[in-house]
Amino acid sequence: MTHPRLSDATLAALPPAVARPAYERAATRIGVVHLGAGAFHRAHQAVYLDDALALDPDWAVCAVSLRNPDVRDALRPQDGLYTLAILGDTPQLRVVGALREVLCARDEQAAVLARLGDPAVRLVTLTVTEKGYCLAGDGLDLAHPDIVHDLATPDAPVSAIGHVVAGLARRRAAGLAPYTVLSCDNLADNGGRLRRAALDFAARLDPALARWIEAEATFPRSMVDSITPATDDALLARVADALGMHDAWPVQRERYAQWVVEDRFCNGRPPLERVGVTLSDDIAGFDRAKLRLLNGPHSALAYLGLLVELETVADAMRHPGLARYVERLMREDIAPTLDVPAGLDLDAYVTAILDRFRNPAIRHRLAQIAWDGSQKLPVRLLGTIRDALAAGRRIDRLCLPIAAWMHFVRRQAHDGVVLVDPMADTLAQLGRAATGEARGDVARFLALRAVFGEMAQQAMVVEPIMQAYASLEDGSGIASFAEMSLPL
């Protein structure tokens, strides 16, 4: 039997167990443009905004994919509706109505730019992943092909930064107020970095525009958290079954969700504080603790777990050596490098993260987390290594996941698997050249300055990475690092 499609027309026919928008969708207005319409946005910010719409109808979302039309093609026939499965012993399903419009900039750019220039739009949010910011060091990578393209044709941008600035330029030209630009990606000081990138870009187009953005627009920092495994066949089947309807692209996440946002909005904001968002004057500390204590260990589990043929985070947490290793990494190596924000109990935070990793109701594939290692390692682990060294601490255990990433790249290259990573070509060459001999292999990887900066010159870093690399080569790695006691 073919199911009817989820849409405004079929919303009323949803079974009572499936939650649905608690407001009249037709009475809402688009007040947010979101760039990067992937699963994380739809499982996280869009759900908070769905709650906010029940309180204030002005903050519906126009979700934009920059290049890939798949989300638009899946959701437009559904009027932007989709199902969120909140995973637990018995998953709870909820149809989210916050997306009133779904666009793909590559083939509907005029509509995207018109939205960005619409006075009703007062907030632009982004989940474009680390690589989507086109950063080099602290600022914009002016040599990035997308940035070169967008600076040459600023009215037909391809990058996220190009879109943010094109919209702001239109608003300035029309005498409108700017919008707040809110990064929701896993980068330390995401708002500050986005602001610098936007200013760098605008300054090259028109210094007066850059000054206007600097004076009028705000780029709050935010910390986002909720584990969101990619949509799989099991989810599609579960949703079809429970809804009695076809939803082309449901999403799933754990129950836990956190969103901490700096309260610096230049043109009004949704009633976020009433829907569970923490608004704060200063979120530095929270974003770093989350990146280092959740995302860092996540990447560690991914590269180490894949080397021993495990599939999911929960599987890795059932591997005694890995589970012990990662807990010690968090408590003994990462936590001591953090300046603890007031109100955060680090011990309890670590315990809660470990519980979330163990959640048997979630099949979060290590391969998904392993994507984009060249972008993730600096933010998640290398900063901790630098801080630990500066504090005179041993970094042996912290180096194991770095070595595991190198082995992972090598193995993928030898198996002919194309990496999901903006540096895939360079990494494939390095991986093919790797022989398993620690000194040569590690030296070649560390020469990637975009990832490792000056680390190749620091014997204090090179030596422990080589040792970790050799221990993974001879198979002793995980077990010996799990038991290693390091003098402080």
The answer to whether the CB of 333 falls within 8 A of the CB of 300 is: no
CA distances to 34, 382, 385 from 378, rounded to whole Å, are 26, 5, 10
Nearer to ligand CS2, 427 or 438 (CB): 427
In the region spanning residues 440 to 459, those forming contacts with ligand CS2, defined by CB under 6 A, are none
The answer to whether the CB of 431 falls within 8 A of the CB of 414 is: yes
Nearer to ligand CS2, 65 or 359 (CB): 359
From the CB of 296, what's the least distance to ligand CS2, in Å? 9
From the CB of 70, what's the least distance to ligand CS2, in Å? 19
In the region spanning residues 299 to 328, those forming contacts with ligand CS2, defined by CB under 6 A, are none
From the CB of 237, what's the least distance to ligand CS2, in Å? 23
Nearer to ligand CS2, 291 or 470 (CB): 291
From the CB of 122, what's the least distance to ligand CS2, in Å? 26
Among 7, 92, 295, 480, binds ligand CS2 (CB under 6 A): 295
Binding segment (CB under 6 A) for ligand CS2, from list 59-67, 82-90, 107-115, 290-298: 290-298
The answer to whether the CB of 23 falls within 8 A of the CB of 100 is: no
Three-state SS across the chain? CCCCECCHHHHHHCCCCCECCCCCHHHCCEEEEEECCCHHHHHCHHHHHHHHHCCCHHHEEEEEECCCCHHHHHHHHHCCCEEEEEECCCCEEEEECCEEEEEECCCCHHHHHHHHCCCCCCEEEECCCHHHHCEECCEECCCCHHHHHHHHCCCCCCCHHHHHHHHHHHHHHCCCCCCEEEECCCCCCHHHHHHHHHHHHHHHHCHHHHHHHHHHCCCCCEEEECCCCCCCHHHHHHHHHHHCCECCCCEEEECCCEEEEECCCCCCCCCHHHCCCEEECCCCCHHHHHHHHHHHHHHHHHHHHHHCCCCEHHHHHHCHHHHHHHHHHHHHHHHHHCCCCCCCCHHHHHHHHHHHHHCCCCCCEHHHHHCCHHHHHHHHHHHHHHHHHHCCCCCHHHHHHHHHHHHHHHHHHHHCCCCCCCCHHHHHHHHHHCCCCHHHHHHHHHCCHHHHCCHHHCHHHHHHHHHHHHHHHCCCHHHHHHHCCCCC
From the CB of 26, what's the least distance to ligand CS2, in Å? 33
From the CB of 253, what's the least distance to ligand CS2, in Å? 9
From the CB of 114, what's the least distance to ligand CS2, in Å? 32
The token pair at 184 is: 């929701």
- Mark residues 201-230: x for contact with ligand CS2 by CB under 6 A, - for none: ------------------------xxx---
From the CB of 367, what's the least distance to ligand CS2, in Å? 10
423 binds ligand CS2 (CB under 6 A): no
289 binds ligand CS2 (CB under 6 A): no
Nearer to ligand CS2, 25 or 376 (CB): 376
From the CB of 421, what's the least distance to ligand CS2, in Å? 12
Nearer to ligand CS2, 31 or 297 (CB): 297
Nearer to ligand CS2, 162 or 297 (CB): 297
Nearer to ligand CS2, 194 or 362 (CB): 362
Nearer to ligand CS2, 264 or 365 (CB): 365
Nearer to ligand CS2, 141 or 225 (CB): 225
Nearer to ligand CS2, 368 or 458 (CB): 368
Number of residues that bind ligand CS2 (CB under 6 A): 10
Q: Which residues have C-beta within 8 Å of that of residue 386, sequence separation ≥ 6?
A: none
From the CB of 335, what's the least distance to ligand CS2, in Å? 18
Binding segment (CB under 6 A) for ligand CS2, from list 157-165, 291-299, 347-355, 432-440: 291-299
From the CB of 234, what's the least distance to ligand CS2, in Å? 18
The token pair at 278 is: 């923490």
The token pair at 383 is: 């900063």
Among 298, 319, 386, 407, binds ligand CS2 (CB under 6 A): 298
183 binds ligand CS2 (CB under 6 A): no
278 binds ligand CS2 (CB under 6 A): no
Nearer to ligand CS2, 417 or 460 (CB): 417
Nearer to ligand CS2, 7 or 368 (CB): 368
Spatial CA neighbour of 260 closest among 296, 289, 225, 288: 225
- Mark residues 362-381: x for contact with ligand CS2 by CB under 6 A, - for none: ------xx------x-----
186 binds ligand CS2 (CB under 6 A): yes
Residues of the shown chain interacting with ligand CS2 in the complex, contacts defined by CB under 6 A: 186, 225-227, 294-295, 298, 368-369, 376
